[in-house]
Amino acid sequence: MTDAKLLTQFNAGQTQAFNILVKRWECPIYNFILRYIGDADEARDLCQKTFIRAYRNLSKLREPDKFTAWIYQIALNTCKDETRRRSHLSFNTLQETDETTLPSTAPITYPDALAHQQSVRDLLNRALQTLPEEQRVVIIMKEYQGLKFTEIADTLKTPVNTIKSRLYYGLSALKKTFDQWHITEDMMRYEL
């Protein structure tokens, strides 16, 4: 059943339809927030907040066909609110974090697949957090969420060409970061 049909059912009073939407979208939204924020526990909390906000505002959604853009907008706004709240609490800048927590440049030997996966996850997380917010969002939406350029443009309310340009500069910046950290494509692969 499509999202639009579930929304129609929800507006007709069937709350269960929203539970199906949550089940369908919890994984994409959680992973989007996780890569944006970088912390699993916080991502779980923000994911819950996103769905609660969505539940409260679902009746205001005028175009059910644009549910994808709408739910990502809510997730992004929830993340931004949290980032804003955190910025009031802490004065640690990203620059300071980068200087003190650069990953080791020595070749890494991985004891098993899980440890390797964890290391890769941490590396990529740190690399993503070095990007400016506007580039990071576009990269996450395209690379991990698989959204189309038009969907990203709808979500961010930004022209499509700007989205493509941010993606280009974001990927280029990531490449520079990986080069600085001496991380190659081969290091990301792991065979049992």
Partner 1 sequence: MNCEISKEQIVEYLYNDDLWPQDREQLQTHIANCPSCQQTLTELQATSNMLKAWPNESPNLNMVFVEDRQSIIPKTFTRHPWYWASGIAAALATIFALSFLNFEFAYRNGTFHASLGFQSNTPQVTASAEPEPPDEVEEIIYEVTTNDLKTPATQADLLIYQQTTLALAERLIRESEMRQRDDINSTFIHLIRDLEQQRQQDLQQVNRGMNALYTRSVQNYEDLQEQWIQKTPVFVKTEIADTLSTGFRPAVYRK
**If binding is defined by CB under 8 A, does position 185 make contact with partner 1?**
yes
Q: Which of 53, 66, 126, 164 binds partner 1 (CB under 8 A)?
A: 164
* C-beta separation of 166 from 53 below 8 A: no
Q: How far is CA 77 from CA 51, 95, 102, 147, in A?
A: 12, 24, 29, 18
Distance CA 64, CA 3 (A): 7
Per-residue contact string for residues 22-51; x = within reach of partner 1 by CB under 8 A: xx--xxx-xx--xx----x--xx--xx--x
**If binding is defined by CB under 8 A, does position 150 make contact with partner 1?**
yes
**If binding is defined by CB under 8 A, does position 161 make contact with partner 1?**
yes
Q: Token pair 């931004």 is at which residue?
A: 80
Cβ distance to partner 1 smaller for residue 23 or 60: 23
Cβ distance to partner 1 smaller for residue 19 or 73: 19
Q: Which of residues 87-146 bind partner 1 (CB under 8 A)?
A: 117, 120-121, 124-125, 139, 142-144
**If binding is defined by CB under 8 A, does position 1 make contact with partner 1?**
no
**If binding is defined by CB under 8 A, does position 178 make contact with partner 1?**
yes
**If binding is defined by CB under 8 A, does position 80 make contact with partner 1?**
no
Cβ distance to partner 1 smaller for residue 70 or 170: 170
CB of 178 to partner 1, least distance (A): 6
In one letter, which amino acid is 132? P
**If binding is defined by CB under 8 A, does position 160 make contact with partner 1?**
yes
**Binding stretches for partner 1 (CB under 8 A):** 13, 15-16, 18-19, 22-23, 26-28, 30-31, 34-35, 40, 43-44, 47-48, 51, 55, 117, 120-121, 124-125, 139, 142-144, 148-150, 160-161, 164-165, 167-169, 171-172, 174-175, 178, 183, 185, 188-189
